Amino acid sequence: MTVGRRICGVRPLRRRPNFDDEARPLQGDVARTKNRIKGKYREHGIVAQGDSVYSAAERGIWLAKLSRPNIRLLMSSLYAKLDSDQAFRLSVLRELVELMQPTREYELLQTIPGIGKILAAVIAGVIGDFARFENKRKLCSYAGLGLCHPWSGDPGRTRVRGSSGGNRSLKYAALSAATAALKGDNRFSRHYQKMVDEGIDPAMAKRTVARKILATALAMLKSGQVYREAA
């Protein structure tokens, strides 16, 4: 049984993959294991900030801070799980790229600022049959990037915030694409800067860019046209 079959139940290279909402998020297991590692250190009074706590080269230093052998053994098992999760995710992404490479969708998405080979494969694979999304709002909602208005007894204190849930793989890919797009000069980065200059929270502005990237991707997939910057 291949990695591809375990993830989405398809036979590699026989038909195009279509990840539904039940597909396991590619980022989820790694993130949860990392959170457990930092949480265990905090439980024992050790402040673990940054990414050095996950580094294979520095694990010995971190483990030495734990005085109890049984806790060091537990942490070593968590590190082993982290290595396994990361290797599994990498193998899935490699196979996903291989599956999506022959498709027109894969080529189109890579013309969007912020989207490279891996993100194009994830977005194309998760969206699958784009005809099932009638409009961009439904796609953003599916990705968990819609907006909601928390109820408040005082209308003046009501705030718009991002919704939770949704397909985590697609949300992660869209937000990652937004992060990459903001590093360049394009209509997404310019719109982001305009929002921040107007006082919009940077995190919310980034989510807006992620939604715009998904909306652009859906429009391109339906039209078959490559991305072009507005004149």
Q: What is the pLDDT of residues 39-66, one digit of tens each?
A: 999 999 999 888 899 999 999 999 999 9
| Beta strand 147-148 pairing with 161-162 | antiparallel
Instruction: For the chain, give the number of residues.
Output: 231
Residue 229 lies in a domain: no
Residue 230 lies in a domain: no
Q: Are residues 158 and 72 in the same domain?
A: no
pLDDT of 22 reads 30
pLDDT of 125 reads 86
Q: Are residues 115 and 169 in the same domain?
A: yes
Q: Are residues 19 and 52 in the same domain?
A: yes
Q: Are residues 55 and 33 in the same domain?
A: yes
Q: Measured in Å, how far apart are the chain's first and last C-alpha atoms?
A: 49
Picking from 65, 100, 135, the residue at the C-terminal end of a domain is 100
Q: Are residues 112 and 197 in the same domain?
A: yes
Residue 214 lies in a domain: yes
Q: Are residues 87 and 163 in the same domain?
A: no
Residue 228 lies in a domain: no
pLDDT level of residue 27 (50, 70, 90 thresholds): low
Residue 166 lies in a domain: yes
Picking from 100, 129, 156, the residue at the C-terminal end of a domain is 100
The pLDDT tens digits of the residues spanning 81-121 come to 999 988 888 888 888 888 888 888 899 999 999 999 889 99
Number of separate domains in the chain = 2
Residue 30 lies in a domain: yes
What 8-state DSSP symbol labels residue 62?
H
Q: Are residues 121 and 52 in the same domain?
A: no
Taking residues 13-23, report their average pLDDT.
38
pLDDT of 61 reads 92
Query: Cα torsion for 162, 166, 172, 176, to the nearest 10°?
Result: -50
Residue 231 lies in a domain: no
Q: Which domain holds residue 203?
A: 107-223
Residue 123 lies in a domain: yes
Global pTM reads 0.69
Residue 190 pLDDT greater than 90, yes or no: yes
Return d(Cα 83, Cα 113) in angstroms, integer: 31
Strand (E) positions, the chain? Answer: 147-148, 161-162
Q: Are residues 94 and 151 in the same domain?
A: no
Picking from 100, 133, 162, the residue at the C-terminal end of a domain is 100
Residue 18 pLDDT greater than 90, yes or no: no
Lowest-pLDDT range of 157-161, 170-174, 187-191, 198-202: 157-161
pLDDT level of residue 25 (50, 70, 90 thresholds): very low
Taking residues 158-175, report their average pLDDT.
72
pLDDT of 131 reads 86
Return d(Cα 75, Cα 199) in angstroms, integer: 43
Q: Are residues 209 and 123 in the same domain?
A: yes
Q: Are residues 121 and 211 in the same domain?
A: yes
Cα four-point dihedral sign 190, 196, 202, 207: negative
Q: Are residues 111 and 218 in the same domain?
A: yes
Residue 73 pLDDT greater than 60, yes or no: yes
- The CA distances from residue 25 to 17, 38, 61, 88, 166, in Å, are 15, 21, 31, 12, 11
Return d(Cα 8, Cα 26) in angstroms, integer: 12
Q: Are residues 129 and 27 in the same domain?
A: no
Residue of 188 and 167 predicted with greater confidence: 188
